[in-house]
Amino acid sequence: MDMPQIMENDDIILEIPTSANEELAREIYAEVTDTIELLKPWLPWAKDTYSLKDEMKFLKGQCIERFKDKSGYAYLIRDKKTRQFCGVIDIVRIEEDAKAGEIGYWLAKKMQGRGYMTKAVLLLEKTAFENGFNRMEIRNESENPNSANVAKRAGYHLDGVLRKDRWNPYYKRFADTNVWSKLRSDVE
């Protein structure tokens, strides 16, 4: 289940950076800062204290190190024509035996509402299935309709709802989780 470092279609490029430099960290950090209020309710790392240093850690750890040891794949999404940074899509919680992985994502505020994430999910899963994955999963908090709509638009099956299995520190409440999946056999 080796994933490539880069993949693309007519509209987008998904790329794992091979080195972490300050210019790249600043580019992503600027979009995180611009989008932070939309991220805070749903992503535990998105806090007002999030810093450029954290962005560097993300690039070095989540992107570069994890790609090396194949424990996860975090891709920067870019517009194919303009190369503008759109957001991040990743595969985490990889289960080698089950050949399964979970897709996570966020988009920069200014790139939302244009279909980038649906396209990114479809490109990522296609490549994942070609590279040995059998099941891709998307989990989202049931009260997060934007995330659920990506899963629906990309044709994922709602396997079920985990009742109050998580704590949302932003809203200070227990929350349900939607579990969505797509199998390789669904697209073959």
Ligand X SMILES: CC(C)(COP(=O)(O)OP(=O)(O)OC[C@H]1O[C@@H](n2cnc3c(N)ncnc32)[C@H](O)[C@@H]1OP(=O)(O)O)[C@@H](O)C(=O)NCCC(=O)NCCS
Q: Rule CB under 6 A: which residues touch ligand X?
A: 38-39, 42-43, 105-107, 112-118, 140, 144, 146-147, 149-150, 153
Task: Pick between residue 129 and residue 180 the one whose CB is nearest to ligand X.
Answer: 180
Give least dist CB 10 to ligand X, A.
11
Q: Where are the alpha helices (DSSP H) in 40-99?
A: 52-57, 66-69
By C-beta, is 34 or 96 nearer to ligand X?
A: 34
Q: Which residue lies nearer to ligand X by CB, 132 or 169?
A: 169
Q: State the residue number with the nearest CB to ligand X.
A: 115
- How far is Cα 121 from Cα 154, in angstroms, rounded to an integer? 7
74 dihedral zone (left: phi>0; alpha: psi -120 to 50; beta) = beta
Residue 144 Cβ vs ligand X, minimum distance, rounded to whole Å: 5
> Minimal distance in Å, beta carbon 141 to ligand X?
6
* Least gap, CB of 5 to ligand X (angstroms): 22
Burial code (b: 16+ CB inside 10 Å, e: under 16) for 31-56 equals bbeebeebbbebbeebeeebeeeebb
